[in-house]
Amino acid sequence: MGGRGRNEMKLCKKLNLLLDLSMKKLQLLLIALITLSLSAQENIKYQKPSKEILSLVEFERPPSVLYDEQKNYMVFIYRDNYKSISDLSEKELRLGGLRINPKTNIGSRVTFYNNVKIKNLKERKGTVNQVKGLPENPKLSNFSWSPDQTKIALTNTTSEGVELWMLDLEKGEVSKLTKPNLNANIGSVINWSGDSMSMLVKMISTDKKPLINTSLIVPDGPTVSTNFGEKAQNRTYQDLLKNKSDEHNFEQLATSAIYKIYVSGDSEKWLDDAMYRNISFSPDGNYVMITQIKKPFSYLVTYSRFPTKTDIYTKEGGLVTNLLETPLIEELPKGFMATTKGKRSFSWRSDKAATLIYVEALDGGDPANIVDYRDEVFELEAPFSGEGKSLIKLINRYAGIDWANENLAIAYDRWWNTRNTKAYSFNPSTNNDSPKTVYDRNYQDAYSDPGSFLKERNNYNRSVIKLHSGRAYMRGAGFTKQGQFPFIDEVNIISFAKKRIYQSAYTDKVESIQDYDPSSKQLIVRIESPTEFPNYYSKKVNSKRLNKITGFKNPFLELQNVKKQTITYKRDDGLELSGILYLPLDYDEEKKEKRPLILWAYPREFKDRKSASQSTKNSNEFTYPYYGSMVYWVTKGYVVLDDASFPIIGEGKEQPNDNFRKQLVANGKAAIDAVDKMGYIDRSKVAIGGHSYGAFMVANLLSHSNLYAAGIARSGAYNRTLTPFGFQSEERSYWEAPNVYYTMSPFMHAEKMKTPLLLIHGEDDNNSGTYPMQSERYFNALKGLGATVRLVMLPKESHGYASKESIFHVLWEQDQWLEKYVKNKK
């Protein structure tokens, strides 16, 4: 081969080499493009947060505390920190607003306890003792004191079902009373008789039919809903019945027979099968009021508004009378204060042997009707026939009664539109005397809150107002402009003049008053500080000496040196705001290094500026981080402003949401300005976060301001046209205020999003209005418009997150997002 041939051959080899290289580059480019396109759906495993956060998340949980009114015993109940994703993955049916485990016949999202200990407070140096006889691998719930408070009934859930157990406080041991055949799906589970010797419980029907697996059903026709002109303006409820198969399953799971279970373990059938909801003994134990669910069911509302039938029985199970039949409630007048016509809210009068109380609306249940009185309260004595005797008429909607004795009771009413509440003292033995107004106030005005009446047990073992020498006692939270100082007021029950007999003086701790005994002048209090876990103490009102009852330790020692304070600042219109500020653990206040800020908040609506400006925050509370908290990030160099005030005010005829966005932005700017003025932060590195309505707030702030480097929005709603009959505190429908719905919806302004946003949502969210679809549709809109956004859907999780795997992963996601787009923002 000549030189020319060799040269051509070399040239061909070079050309082939270049072609191969080009093809490889093209292949790499295609692979990169495919990878990029797939990156929108990452299939990653559950992650754990960094060690600084993980050490705080994995802690030994102190117990919850129960104690009897005589302060004889204190019961400590223990549980794991978190459920597991396998717990949440068990079979679950969602029917009529309920979530049920169809195998065990109890709510599928119930929190279970796994240990019980007890302390005898009658002993001078009582020790905390392990309760004996607990089942293996206990899953305890439904703790219920007996009327005489010598026993506690509870349930244990096994793989087969729910058992009834009883704790004898004197013996310190539990015993099993039934097999795993309780029906704990709906309504009251344990119902003690008046003598504390037996209980009425619902047992699974022996005639229960097999449940229908709706995923295997071949439809034989469509599901049809019809309306003939009625207005059913309901919120966007979730977990509703959808078809006849759901109706069948709901009926099977709601149907029970009622059995009488004695503390000895003996039992007898008390009533035959029905869809029983609530069971309630009269104070003397001679009568039982029972409400059962009837048909027709609804596909628009939850089971609480299905038809009901309420009857009165003797304690032996004999029918006395049919008290009330309530129809299906799908249509109500518009407004949060709307209610039904006719008799409602039946309950037993606590200070009499067997007298019923009920209410009737005087405005037809329609808030739009102008009347002098909204509700009237009646009483009906045994044998519960005929019409009741009028006790009192209320200016606002009925909100309950505190009973004292035959000559004294305190009635309460409430009106949401004006945020007004009133309390009236009246003599229930006669309606000749006019009720006396005890207070008339804005219930959002925390500084004027008089507190609530202390209670004691009467001869029927029912809670009534505590009276001593013609005096009652009110316990208040004690919020003031200067701080929080809980108190006890002595109240003259004739004049209702008050005398303060005790007020906490702590300025570096929080003293929560649990109870007061006027005969011994003894207080039970709970005291905590930022580094001291809440513990219980007894003390005399005129003494500083504390007698310690519990000794719980601080499980978060890593945070004991965190600097924490309540700060106050002003919005640009002069409104005073507040928040709890945490500085990083390693922060040097002398150097004043500029650090990134995490701002966490939740908007709240007010009808007046005075209430909106008040602070109910107390930086002396124990620092107790939980999965929803951003306090963890003080360990990673962030400044955190938690629970920042985000009031939205609408005074007079103006509604708060009429200028929601403007006030929202002003609240955020005021918070950032305040912390920036203190010299702690780099205001170009501010993250904003919130959950539920707080997530809605985040999306709006990022769309309509440029104050933030990134946002975190968990379990929110972003398109208000998907909740057209009201949301949060907005009772106007979309068709009444379309501009409000449009202006407030971040989805409608997705093109304005220029800030990185992390969206997190539980795939099984059951909260009204926050469908998982809200986050999915919002993500798609933002992605289509080129925004920087990440959507994390958590399998099996509801509106709040429960499993250890999900919680750890949420913390990891937030940490990654904050590190990339806030701390290391470019």
How far is residue 379's CA from residue 391's CA, in Å, rounded to a whole number? 7
CA distances from 393 to 344, 368, 374 (A): 15, 18, 8
Beta-carbon contacts of 413 under 8 Å, excluding residues fewer than 6 positions away, are 374, 375, 394, 395, 396, 397, 398, 399, 421, 422, 424
Q: Is 631 helix (H, G, I), strand (E, B) or coil?
A: helix
Phi, psi of 711 (to 5 degrees): -135, 155
Residue 94's closest CA among 237, 240, 214? 240
Residue 422's closest CA among 380, 353, 374? 374
How far is residue 92's CA from residue 303's CA, in Å, rounded to a whole number? 17
| Catalytic member of 280, 608, 658, 799 | 799
| Catalytic member of 141, 512, 692, 715 | 692
Q: Is 522 helix (H, G, I), strand (E, B) or coil?
A: strand
What is the sign of the dihedral through the CA atoms of 338, 343, 348 and 352? positive
Amino acid at 533: F
Here the tokens at position 196 are: 């504390």
Here the tokens at position 237 are: 């409820």
- Answer for the pair 623, 564: CB distance below 8 angstroms, yes or no: yes
- Answer for the pair 189, 155: CB distance below 8 angstroms, yes or no: yes
How far is residue 732's CA from residue 368's CA, in Å, rounded to a whole number? 13
Here the tokens at position 248 are: 């069948």
Active site residue 207: no
What's the residue count for the chain?
Answer: 826
| Catalytic member of 765, 775, 803, 815 | 765
Active site residue 692: yes
Using only C-alpha atoms, the chain has a radius of gyration, in whole angstroms, of 30
In the numeric block, the tokens 């759906």 are attached to 41
3-state helix, strand, coil in the chain (%, to 5): 20, 35, 45
Q: Which residues are catalytic?
A: 692, 765, 799
